[in-house]
Structure 1
Amino acid sequence: MKFHYDFPIKKMDSPIAHHHRILMMGSCFTENIGQYLRNHSFQILENPNGILFNPASVADAILSYINKDEVKEEDLFQLNETWHSWKFHSRYSGVSKEEALEKMNRNIAEAHQFLKTASYIIVTLGSAWVYELTDAANGKLGTMVANNHKAPASWFHRRLLSAEAVKSMLLPIITALRQFNPILQIVFTISPVRHLREGVIENNRSKAVLIQSVHDLTNEYEHLYYFPSYELVIDDLRDYRFYAEDLVHPNYQATQYVWEKFVDACIDDSSAQLFKTIREIKLAYQHKPFNASTQQHQQFLQKYATVTQRLSEQYPYLQLQTELDYFRTGIRSREQAD
């Protein structure tokens, strides 16, 4: 008896390997998959503007990375004793203009440099609903915002983008990305996070718009790839058991399932073969000894320092320096104590 509908996923023609650099953009589900990639020592840069839900904000952010467009003082506004930008998540706001500008412009510069040599950009779109500033807001009338920063509801007007409008926003970005970095491969996916605050019917309308627009683009351009995150949770698992208590966000089991499917479809086999050793190193790094000065723990550290060093020498692009430093520091601390 089958309790879920398992469907085939088209494999990526040029799968992702550890030596590739990956820029990840979009909704909070981006950060779920990003964490898995980071845990397996891939080179990633994740959401330089913070979480972005709608395609207009994603497109605007990507263009700012390509052009290295700095945020200026006049782009900021003050609310609740904090300076914000309508283009950035609140995590990059500041109690002073200088603090906010430093955070935002540092991230834009980092994204600009990263994107130059990135092999992939993974874009997860969350919602086709956009919020535009009204004349009651602190900002230019009609501006599409990436984050509401807990501003009053009267500051925003909500509207649903059409599939054609989404395509018209994404198409110039696809062209600009390829001109900026000709080797870049673009991966689209739709977030399975359900935006129920918009309403059940409204959420489904929104997802339909995103699905239609992205599939139109991927059918037209060979260097685009679609990974079905949304379909895996909504149509394959299809059960509230796979959602958190809020019935909005996929839970650990669901994200783990999507990750496993992502590995099968999108990760190079030689890189996937390293996962077991990498996970072992990561678990050793997280190990908390009862007594760090025991001979047994020193042998433990020495073992994993050796394993990590050998793996890093063989694959110098693996992101394992933090773990290696930890193992070595523990050994040195014992030697200095002796």
Structure 2
Amino acid sequence: MKLYTPVERPTDCPCIDYSHRLMLLGSCFATNIGTRLQEAKFCCDVNPYGVLYNPLSISMALREMLSGKVYVPDDLYLHQGLWHSAMHHGDFSHVSSEEALRQINDRLRRAASEMDRLDFLLLTWGTAWVYEDKETGRVVGNCHKLPEKCFQRRRLSVAEIVNDGVSLFSGLLARNERLQVVLTVSPIRHVRDGLHDNQLSKATLLLAAEQIAEAFPRRVFYFPTYELLLDELRDYRFYADDLVHPSEVAVQYVWERFTEWCLASETDKVMRECEQIHKDLSHKPLHPDSEEYKRFLGQILLKIDRLNGKYPYLDFQNERKLCLTRLNK
């Protein structure tokens, strides 16, 4: 009995391995997949601006990284006691403008230093609906709860997204000849836009992604995250309680498809060992001061040493430090 419609594997898939450097930008779904890549010890930078939802804001973030942008006080505004950047997620907002700028520029500097060394750029678009600041005419990455009267809300056209994407990638791919880009559309439902408007938005993103991928064969790929949830899973059981975000099971399902289709086969064994170390360290001991738990931590350190001996490029600095802290060393 056929119980679901399978999504076909894309004919062109990237082949990512541990020698590659990656960056993920976009919606919180990019963070979900990026976190798993980091836990598996891939060299991976995730959302240096925080979560961004629309293609133009993601594009602008990349342009700022490429241009060496440095944020100054005039780039921030004060609202509800916090200093905000219209380009950044609220994680970067702060009561002190100096601290907000320090966090923004430190993070931007680290991300910018990676741009010319990247092998893969994974972009997850969430919505084609944007908010334009009425004073500046610029599309904002985050409204930070400013009154609606400050913004003009509109839906991007396919042509706008494609023209911007082609312009961006033409320069980016010429600058870094080994770079490949993976585009995907987030399955997160933007129900505040209304269900019909959400569908129009997703359709706009899908059409734009297809056209951009066609413009850069073998350099820009489309990964069917949206289709995996909407077609293969297609059930509210695979959404969180808010019926908007994918459940943990759904995220894991897409992650497994991503590893199957986009990661080199030889990465599988290393990934499983890295994931086991992460799982072991997430374990909450009943008696953290016991000799048994100390032996357990010692075994984790031995696993780390063995893996680092085979794969010296894997970064276990945080895990090693955590083990030693728990061992009181």
Q: TM-score, normalised by structure 1?
A: 0.93
Distance change in 2, residues 1:330/1:28 (3 Å): closer
Q: SS at the partner of 1:23?
A: strand
Q: Which amino acid aligns with 2:270?
A: L
1:331: how far off? 4.9
1:291: how far off? 3.1
1:210 has 2:205 as partner? yes
CA deviation vs aligned residue, 1:274-295 (integer Å, no higher than 9, x gap): 2221122112222333334433
143-152 or 280-289: bigger deviation: 280-289
Q: Which amino acid aligns with 1:154?
A: K
1:324: how far off? 2.3
Whether contact under 8 Å (1:29, 1:124) holds in the other structure is yes
Question: What residue number does 1:184 align with?
Answer: 179
1:94: how far off? 1.8
1:315: how far off? 0.9
Whether contact under 8 Å (1:11, 1:265) holds in the other structure is no
Question: What residue number does 1:258 align with?
Answer: 254
1:234 has 2:230 as partner? yes
Whether contact under 8 Å (1:309, 1:324) holds in the other structure is no
1:198 has 2:193 as partner? yes
1:149 has 2:144 as partner? yes
Question: What residue number does 2:274 align with?
Answer: 278
CA deviation vs aligned residue, 1:87-106 (integer Å, no higher than 9, x gap): 11111112122111111111
Distance change in 2, residues 1:148/1:329 (3 Å): closer
Question: What residue number does 2:244 align with?
Answer: 248
Whether contact under 8 Å (1:25, 1:47) holds in the other structure is yes
Whether contact under 8 Å (1:12, 1:265) holds in the other structure is no
Distance in 2, matches of 1:252 and 1:10, equals 24
Q: Which amino acid aligns with 2:206?
A: I
Whether contact under 8 Å (1:191, 1:229) holds in the other structure is yes
Q: Which amino acid aligns with 2:159?
A: E
1:47 has 2:47 as partner? yes
Q: SS at the partner of 2:23?
A: strand
Q: Which amino acid aligns with 1:58?
A: I
1:329: how far off? 4.5
Question: What residue number does 1:90 align with?
Answer: 90
Distance change in 2, residues 1:311/1:36 (3 Å): same
Distance in 2, matches of 1:79 and 1:331, equals 45
Give the CA RMSD over aligned residues.
1.6
1:72 has 2:68 as partner? no
1:300: how far off? 1.8
Residues 122-137 of structure 1 mapped to structure 2, 5 A cutoff: 122-134=122-134
Whether contact under 8 Å (1:87, 1:147) holds in the other structure is yes
Distance in 2, matches of 1:191 and 1:332, equals 43
Distance in 2, matches of 1:198 and 1:17, equals 38
Distance in 1, matches of 2:187 and 2:317, equals 33
Aligned length: 328
1:256: how far off? 0.8
Question: What residue number does 1:7 align with?
Answer: 7
Distance change in 2, residues 1:141/1:280 (3 Å): closer
Distance change in 2, residues 1:332/1:245 (3 Å): closer
1:234: how far off? 0.8
CA deviation vs aligned residue, 1:53-87 (integer Å, no higher than 9, x gap): 11110110000001111112112111111111111
Distance in 2, matches of 1:180 and 1:332, equals 48
CA deviation vs aligned residue, 1:198-220 (integer Å, no higher than 9, x gap): 01111111111111011011112
Q: Which amino acid aligns with 2:227?
A: E
Unpaired segments of 5 or more residues in structure 1? 135-139, 334-338
Question: What residue number does 2:313 align with?
Answer: 317
1:7: how far off? 2.3
Identity of aligned residues (%): 35
Whether contact under 8 Å (1:66, 1:180) holds in the other structure is no
1:296 has 2:292 as partner? yes
1:273: how far off? 1.9
CA deviation vs aligned residue, 1:299-321 (integer Å, no higher than 9, x gap): 22222211110101211222322
Q: Which amino acid aligns with 1:162?
A: S
CA deviation vs aligned residue, 1:35-65 (integer Å, no higher than 9, x gap): 2112211111111111111111011000000
1:34: how far off? 1.1
Q: SS at the partner of 1:22?
A: strand
Whether contact under 8 Å (2:14, 2:221) holds in the other structure is no
Unpaired segments of 5 or more residues in structure 2? none
Q: SS at the partner of 2:193?
A: coil
Q: SS at the partner of 2:266?
A: helix
